[in-house]
Every structure is written in structure tokens, then in C-alpha cells.
């Protein structure tokens, strides 16, 4: 996995940790530092005509984000895959998974199974469901029961994997974090690239954290942005691969997870328009 992200707060996937306070969620956008190259067009500019055999491209971030969001709402859902690594105190671990994501207007629901473990070893599996503003995990230490994050106690041995799964649920919509700061972002790069035989445009979208901080209305999130700017992080970028119909095909996630290490992940999206249902787990309450 290989193109980048680092963390800023995300509005739709924050969650309280267990009452013990042991399960804290890293508020992440999945972004990384990147140089700004290129300029923005007017917000309503359609994709520009491309050279022969090249896909049309958006060079205005607002227009691109609006087009992708409209397509996601229209299709309603997609199947997803996860493939990457987590480099932490115990060394490198493989992170894989599969599931589905559903878009209902502005609401995003997701379910997946996450698998984590050293290469060649039997992975630990964590199930996750997020819908209606609530999140549940199914961990080995709970004997197959679903536990609601922020309500039930997560077994200590499973907290790291539950935290990772909860963070990954926040990347279900690959551009939600960038969309929050659309007025402070621009498309810095747009390149044709095939992904598993699908023609796509690989977009790099850069967010100016100084402008984002000034425009942020949530006091807690503004404080986090201000602290990042004070620490020298003034620009971050998201990378997403979009097909000719403005459907995300792949997104790169790179997050620094406090106490866990560096997550480097490719999220894949396929079968857009597939009927997807994400319901609270049975007997979850």
C-alpha cells in the first residue's frame, strides 16, 4: 500500500471509548503531507476534456467531491476490501478484511470482518458493524457476542484490535474527511492509472489546515487542527482512485495510531449498486 494519509478529526465516526476509558479512538482522516502542485478551477466546473484515451478529470476539489458523493448516494452501496500493514511495538502485522458500505443520504453505515496478525500466522478476527451513530464489535474474548463500543466493556486482550476496527470504520467513505474541509482543499494531482483492469484517475487532494482551522465551527475539532498547525503540520492530502463514472475504486489510508503504530492500508471498493443492508447485530439491544 502505498500512497498516503495522516490524521485529522473526522466528524462522522467519533465514538466514546468504554467506560473504563481504555478504548480510545484516534480521530483520523487518513491523510499525509504532500506538496501542492496545480490550481483549482471554479466550483461548478465539469471534468475537463482529456487527451485521446485518457479519462476526463476534475481539477476543482469541490466539483470532484460533489460528483463522487452524488454517485455514492445514487448507487447506495458497495463491497469493500482491506489490505495493508500495521507497524507497531510488536513488529509488523498484516491487516486484511472484507465487508460492505451503505450510503443513505449523508449517513454512512458499514460492516466488515478485520483480520490482524504476523505474516504466516493465524490472524485474529474482529467483526464490526456501524449504523445509526452506534458501533458494535465482535471480538474473540467475548465468545462471539457483539459488544457496543462506549457501552460494553471490551476485554483487555481485544482492545487494540477493537480500536483498529473502529478507526477503519471511519474510512468507509473515502472522502468524508476531505469533504468537511472542501473550501480549504484543492486537487494537486490527477493521473490516469489502471486498478485491477479498471481505468481510473488517481486524485491527490490537499487540505490547507490553516484555512480549515479558521473555518471549523466545532471547538474540539478546531483545537485539534490548531494544535496540528502549531506542531508544523499545515497541509495534508488524501489519495483516491476514481473510475470514469466517479465511483471510488481504491483509497489509501495512512494513520498514526497512538500506542499502536503506523497503519498503511489500501481500501478497495467494487460492485457499486449492490444491495447492501447494515443492521444492528442480533440481540445487540
Beta-ladder partners of 84: 95, 265
Which set of grid coordinates corresponds to residue 22? 481504555
User: Is-contact 237 178, C-beta < 8 A?
Assistant: no
| Nearest by Cα to 142 from 134, 151, 153, 130 | 153
- Cα separation of 56 and 269, whole Å? 21
- The model's pLDDT over 63-89, given as tens digits with 9 standing for 90+, comes to 999 999 999 999 999 999 999 999 998
Mean pLDDT, range 148-176, rounded to an integer = 92
| pLDDT given for residue 26 in this prediction | 33
* Domain spans, the chain: 61-270
| pLDDT given for residue 215 in this prediction | 85
Long-range pairs for 48-57 at CB < 8 Å and ≥24 separation? 50/192, 54/192, 55/192, 55/199, 55/200, 55/201, 55/244, 56/244, 57/190, 57/201
What predicted TM-score, i.e. pTM, was given to this entire model? 0.78
| pLDDT given for residue 187 in this prediction | 95
Confidence of residue 39 (pLDDT cuts 50, 70, 90): very low
Confidence of residue 50 (pLDDT cuts 50, 70, 90): low
| Nearest by Cα to 216 from 170, 187, 183 | 183
Confidence of residue 100 (pLDDT cuts 50, 70, 90): very high
Examine the pLDDT at 90 and tell me if it is beyond 80. Answer: yes
- The model's pLDDT over 163-185, given as tens digits with 9 standing for 90+, comes to 999 989 988 898 887 888 888 99
Q: Which position has the higher pLDDT, 142 or 36?
A: 142
Examine the pLDDT at 193 and tell me if it is beyond 90. Answer: yes
- Considering the segment(s) 61-270 as one domain, its CATH architecture is Clam (2.50)
User: Is-contact 101 281, C-beta < 8 A?
Assistant: no
- The model's pLDDT over 246-279, given as tens digits with 9 standing for 90+, comes to 999 999 988 777 778 899 999 999 999 999 999 9
Residues in CB range of 194: below 8 A, 6 or more apart: 200
| Nearest by Cα to 86 from 155, 1, 22 | 1
| pLDDT given for residue 194 in this prediction | 96
Beta-ladder partners of 199: 194
Confidence of residue 52 (pLDDT cuts 50, 70, 90): low
Examine the pLDDT at 189 and tell me if it is beyond 90. Answer: yes
Q: How far apart are the first and last CA of the chain?
A: 37
Amino acid at each position: 500500500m502505498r500512497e498516503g494519509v495522516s490524521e485529522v478529526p473526522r466528524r462522522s465516526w467519533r465514538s466514546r471509548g468504554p467506560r473504563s476509558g481504555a478504548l480510545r479512538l484516534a480521530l483520523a482522516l487518513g491523510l499525509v503531507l504532500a506538496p501542492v502542485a496545480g490550481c483549482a478551477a471554479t466550483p461548478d466546473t465539469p471534468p475537463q476534456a482529456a487527451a485521446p484515451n485518457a479519462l476526463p478529470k476534475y481539477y476543482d476539489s469541490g466539483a470532484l467531491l460533489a460528483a463522487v458523493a452524488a454517485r455514492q448516494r445514487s448507487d447506495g452501496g458497495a463491497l469493500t476490501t482491506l489490505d495493508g500493514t500495521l507497524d507497531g511495538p510488536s513488529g509488523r502485522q498484516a491487516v486484511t478484511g472484507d465487508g460492505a458500505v451503505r450510503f443513505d443520504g449523508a449517513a454512512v453505515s458499514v460492516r466488515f470482518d478485520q483480520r490482524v496478525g504476523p505474516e504466516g500466522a493465524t490472524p485474529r478476527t474482529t467483526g464490526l458493524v456501524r449504523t445509526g451513530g452506534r458501533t458494535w464489535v465482535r471480538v474473540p474474548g467475548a465468545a462471539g457476542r457483539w459488544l457496543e463500543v462506549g457501552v460494553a466493556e471490551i476485554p483487555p486482550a481485544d482492545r487494540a484490535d477493537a480500536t483498529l476496527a473502529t478507526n477503519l470504520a471511519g474510512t468507509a467513505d473515502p472522502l468524508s474527511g476531505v469533504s468537511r474541509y472542501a473550501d480549504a482543499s484543492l486537487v494537486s494531482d490527477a493521473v490516469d492509472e489502471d486498478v485491477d483492469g479498471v481505468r481510473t484517475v488517481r486524485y491527490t487532494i490537499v487540505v490547507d489546515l490553516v484555512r480549515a482551522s479558521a473555518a471549523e465551527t466545532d471547538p474540539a475539532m478546531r483545537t485539534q487542527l490548531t494544535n496540528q498547525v502549531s506542531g508544523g503540520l499545515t497541509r495534508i492530502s488524501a489519495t483516491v482512485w476514481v473510475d470514469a463514472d466517479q465511483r471510488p475504486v481504491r483509497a489509501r489510508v495512512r494513520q498514526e495510531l497512538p500506542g499502536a503504530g503506523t497503519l498503511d492500508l489500501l481500501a478497495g471498493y467494487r460492485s457499486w449498486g449492490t444491495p447492501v443492508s447494515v443492521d444492528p447485530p442480533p440481540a445487540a439491544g
